Amino acid sequence: MLTTFFSCFRFQKTRNNEERNIAKEPASKLVLESIQALEKRTEKVNEENKQKFDQQSDRLQSMEASISKILKLNETAPKSNDASKKAQSHEPTVQNNNTTNVASKTVKRFQLKHVFKNVSKSMGVVRLNKHLGFYVHCEPITPADNWSIRTKLDFKVVGPNQNDVIRTWDYCYNKSIGAGFRKFLDWKGMEKCYLVDGNLTVEVNGEIIETTGFSKEKIRRFDGSRKDVSDVILVVRDTKFYVLKMFLASQSSIFKALLHGKFSESKQSEVTLNGIDPDDFHYFLEVLYGESAINDSNVEGVSLLADMYDAPTAIRKCEEFLLEKSKKTLEKKLEIATRFNLDKLKEKCL
């Protein structure tokens, strides 16, 4: 009897424990699921924070690289300036004035390269009797009545075995014309040594030494007359621009770091900027100050500076001009869009 009672007691106790465990199991499972959900949420937050951190880190690195490049140009400028003065002591200064026909002495380099698949019918190279004629055409967009472009051009016919033929010519364009060599190569020699599968590869490396008649009228002054409303002078070559640090810092992350950061330039009353064109910089400043300063002659230079100094307002205005008003070719617009990451322009071109 006692044994039977004890067995029943054990059975009842075991059953009660099992029921208690069954009752507890849903709660434990709920806690486990909550922990797993919390871990997933934590991982997601960490991943989002990591992405934001990486983006900020990349942006800071880009800014540091841009500023370092600017400072490096400033450090190396005195040596290069001394050398250039010895070699070109006759070069005049580009003045910061309101003139529409100023001569720009900025050297700008370019390269043209093309593979002609039908030499006899192409426009850049032609067959003239027994010779290959090679020309570079100049057709300015909306030039002034009197204009000129002085260039130094290296004409090259590219050979398959590094046997290139290069001829150099200094030429000043003052009307829309093709200029070059009527007898660049003997035609039979060209066919024998330079045609590859019937195609001819030619290249021109050029420098624009001087231009006149293309400068847009300057709307704003940044000269000494603005001295009383400026707190820093930016020196581009021999031209001084009187500007406000705070305004430039609000428009450009690079200027903010350069003029308000820990760099020595932030304590200087004059800051030299090297490797840029004073005319382009003037129009760039006008754009920052809200002027309609962009045209087809300066949009590429302003875009370059806007990209260099991380100035989103100027970048946007350059893109809007190229989208709505520019007469540049579709190919040129696509080139500019790709070079300066102008997504809307690139999308329209494609």
* 176 vs 117: which has the higher pLDDT: 176
Query: Which structural domain, as residue segments, surrounds residue 118?
Result: 108-212
Same domain, 229 and 332: yes
Same domain, 151 and 256: no
User: Cβ(277)–Cβ(106) under 8 Å?
Assistant: yes
Residue 67 lies in a domain: no
Please report which confidence band the pLDDT of residue 103 belongs to, taking 50, 70 and 90 as the band edges.
very low
Same domain, 201 and 313: no
Same domain, 205 and 236: no
* 75 vs 349: which has the higher pLDDT: 349
Residue 311 pLDDT greater than 90, yes or no: yes
Can you give the pLDDT at residue 199?
A: 86
Can you give the pLDDT at residue 338?
A: 93
Same domain, 228 and 288: yes
Same domain, 207 and 228: no
Can you give the pLDDT at residue 139?
A: 74
Distance CA 254, CA 154 (A): 37
Domain end among 154, 181, 212: 212
Same domain, 259 and 185: no
Structure tokens given for 292? 């309609």
Q: Which segment of 52-61, 161-170, 185-194, 261-270 scores lowest on mean pLDDT?
A: 52-61
Task: Calculate the alpha carbon distances from 301 to 17, 288, 345, 348 in Å.
Answer: 83, 14, 17, 21
Count CB neighbours of 311 within 10 A: 23
Residue 289 pLDDT greater than 60, yes or no: yes
Read off the CATH number of the domain in which 264 is found: 3.30.710.10
Residue 53 pLDDT greater than 60, yes or no: no
* 277 vs 27: which has the higher pLDDT: 277
* Strands lying side by side in the sheet with 131-138: 125-128, 131-138, 177-186
Same domain, 244 and 203: no
Residue 307 pLDDT greater than 90, yes or no: yes
Distance CA 278, CA 273 (A): 10
262-276 average pLDDT score: 83
Can you give the pLDDT at residue 38?
A: 73
Domain end among 212, 240, 260: 212
Please report which confidence band the pLDDT of residue 66 belongs to, taking 50, 70 and 90 as the band edges.
low
* Strands lying side by side in the sheet with 165-173: 108-116, 200-212, 148-157, 165-173
Domain end among 156, 181, 212: 212
Same domain, 179 and 276: no
Residue 147 lies in a domain: yes
Residue 26 pLDDT greater than 70, yes or no: no
Number of domains in the chain: 2
Can you give the pLDDT at residue 85?
A: 37
DSSP 203-234: EEEEEEEEEES-PPPP-S--SGGGGGG-SEEE
Distance CA 206, CA 80 (A): 21
Can you give the pLDDT at residue 215?
A: 62
Q: Which segment of 26-30, 70-74, 216-220, 246-250 scores lowest on mean pLDDT?
A: 70-74
81-110 average pLDDT score: 40
Structure tokens given for 307? 């990209």
Read off the CATH number of the domain in which 183 is found: 2.60.210.10
Residue 326 pLDDT greater than 70, yes or no: yes
Residue 199 lies in a domain: yes
Can you give the pLDDT at residue 108?
A: 64
Residue 41 lies in a domain: no
Residue 286 lies in a domain: yes
Distance CA 305, CA 310 (A): 8
Give the percent of the chain with pLDDT over 90: 24
pLDDT digits (tens, 9 = 90+) for 143-168: 556 778 888 888 899 888 878 888 89
112-126 average pLDDT score: 56
User: Cβ(114)–Cβ(202) under 8 Å?
Assistant: yes
Same domain, 245 and 196: no
* 118 vs 290: which has the higher pLDDT: 290
Distance CA 152, CA 338 (A): 27
Residue 231 lies in a domain: yes
317 three-class SS: helix
Phi (first) and psi of residue 289, to 5 degrees: -85, 10
Residue 93 lies in a domain: no
Residue 235 pLDDT greater than 90, yes or no: yes
Please report which confidence band the pLDDT of residue 84 belongs to, taking 50, 70 and 90 as the band edges.
very low
Tokens 């806690």 -> residue: 31
* 330 vs 8: which has the higher pLDDT: 330
Residues with Cβ within 8 Å of residue 198, at least 6 apart in sequence: 117
Task: Calculate the alpha carbon distances from 320 to 3, 314, 343, 347 in Å.
Answer: 98, 10, 11, 13
Same domain, 288 and 260: yes
Distance CA 53, CA 217 (A): 45
Residue 229 pLDDT greater than 70, yes or no: yes
- Average pLDDT across the chain, whole number: 75
Residue 1 pLDDT greater than 60, yes or no: no
Count CB neighbours of 271 within 10 A: 21
User: Cβ(102)–Cβ(160) under 8 Å?
Assistant: no
Can you give the pLDDT at residue 104?
A: 44
Can you give the pLDDT at residue 276?
A: 87
Same domain, 194 and 131: yes
Alpha-helix runs per DSSP H in 101-183: none
Residue 270 lies in a domain: yes
